[in-house]
Structure 1
Amino acid sequence: MRFLLDMNVSGVLLNLLLDSGHDVACVRDVDLKMSDSEILDWAVREKRIIITTDSDFEQMI
């Protein structure tokens, strides 16, 4: 599966997903100040599942 991890996701989850063979991209590796709408656009463009603890995404979708 293809995931996009928001800045607030733990490194433990990142390692678990990578160790399980998933394709994982991380917002923190690209731009720590990326807006929620930019993150959503990225996920849609690359067909990734967003993993976040930010409740704003629920309202956006």
Structure 2
Amino acid sequence: MRLILDEMISPLAAEKLRVKGHDVVAATEVGLRQMADAELFAWAVRERRAVVTVNYQDFRPLHETCLSRGEGHFGQLLIPRRQSLAIRAMGRLVARLDAFLATHTAVDALESAEHWLD
């Protein structure tokens, strides 16, 4: 599975996940800073990446619109707002994403689906 972390998540998380062998980029690393959510979602579809975000109030409607049009995407990993994204908590987020990726290896493992990362 390939991931893109939205810009609310530190690129440090992407770096740490790449060290563990995962195909992960951060929006801020690939020139997508301040891109509209719909554009980031479309980029993720083109690049066959699932979106990792805490901004579920904007990304969930994009998922629903995509499905209502009969289109697919490569998934969304939603992080509850109660989860800290502070640098000091980055290790927990990286560990949770690493564990998820270890059990969801296919590029389409979350095809057209959402998953809450608890």
Q: How many residues align structurally?
A: 61
Q: Which runs of 5+ in 1 are unaligned?
A: none
Percent identity of paired positions between Structure 1 and Structure 2:
36
* 3-state SS in 1 of match to 2:42: helix
Say whether residues 1:9 and 2:13 are aligned partners: no
Alignment CA distance shift 1:15-1:31 (3 Å): closer
Say whether residues 1:36 and 2:37 are aligned partners: yes
Structure 2 residue aligned with 1:60, among 59, 62, 66? Answer: 62
The Cα shift of 1:14 comes to: 1.9
Query: 4+ runs of 1 displaced by more than 4 Å?
Result: none
Q: TM-score, normalised by structure 1?
A: 0.81
Q: Which structure is larger by alpha-carbon Rg, 1 or 2?
A: 2
- Determine the structure 1 residue equivalent to 2:51: 50
The Cα shift of 1:15 comes to: 3.3
Alignment CA distance shift 1:11-1:26 (3 Å): closer
- Determine the structure 1 residue equivalent to 2:25: 25
Structure having greater relative contact order (Cα 8 Å, sep ≥ 6): 1
Q: Which runs of 5+ in 2 are unaligned?
A: 64-118
* 3-state SS in 1 of match to 2:35: coil
